[in-house]
Amino acid sequence: MSLPYALLLHGLGGSGPTHWQNWLAGELAHHGGQVDLPQFTLPDAPRLDVWLAELRDHLAAAPTSPERVVVAHSLAGLLWLHHAAGEFDEALRVDRVLLVAPPSPRHAGEPLISEFLDVPLDPAALRRAAGSTRLVMGEGDPYCTLEQGKELAEALRVDVDVIVGGAHLNAAAGYGSWGAVLKWVRSDRTPLTPR
């Protein structure tokens, strides 16, 4: 079975060298997978319009086969929701999306992401943008409580996995390597589990 093409989208500040997204990119590339881990412009001072344009450029440049998957961490999860709610373009549609630890759209503690918070929660648009979408969140995430995460999943009508003690599912929470996300990319294996 061939590996899917994977587009890995970072959140605020980017994904540092010890983040699971970098580990995942290396694992997929090592096994012959096509991987794109773009660095968005001004990762520490994101602009929604700029990041949306860059996301769409990467989707447009992606191969049309094999299967196309997107793994969006943190702020990139909200970016994906904005993209999905935008003007539909069949050429940008992907097969699967994993939203990892998106901040709650009601999160008000970080002014740098305020442009991203007024996000449309449109399940029909989400289904147009991708064949399937799944959400995974960590218990104790400072940017999204379990209640907020479950509300988000319900509003989007997507399945959600909760990682006990996972916090923001980043390097600071101990997620440098994460076998379950690799299995999900390779074969849609769910539910997602801790590292």
3-state SS assignment for residue 190: coil
Tell me, yes or no, whether 195 lies in a domain: no
- Contact residues for 22 (Cβ-Cβ < 8 A; gap 6+): 15, 16, 37
Tell me, yes or no, whether 176 lies in a domain: yes
Q: Look up the pTM and report it.
A: 0.96
pLDDT of residue 107: 78
Q: What is the CATH number of the domain that holds 103?
A: 3.40.50.1820
pLDDT of residue 106: 84
pLDDT of residue 188: 87
Tell me, yes or no, whether 193 lies in a domain: no
Kindly state the helix (H) or strand (E) to which residue 116 belongs, with its residue range.
Answer: helix 114-117
For the chain, how many structural domains are there in total?
Answer: 1
The one-digit pLDDT tens for each residue of the chain (195 residues) are 579 999 999 999 999 899 999 999 999 999 999 999 999 999 999 999 999 999 999 999 999 989 999 999 999 999 999 999 999 999 999 999 999 999 999 877 788 999 999 999 999 999 999 999 999 999 999 999 999 999 999 999 999 999 999 999 999 999 999 999 999 999 988 888 888
- Contact residues for 95 (Cβ-Cβ < 8 A; gap 6+): 4, 67, 68, 69, 130, 131, 132
Handedness of CA 22, 141, 101, 50 (dihedral sign): negative
3-state SS assignment for residue 147: helix
* Containing structural domain, residue 177: 5-187
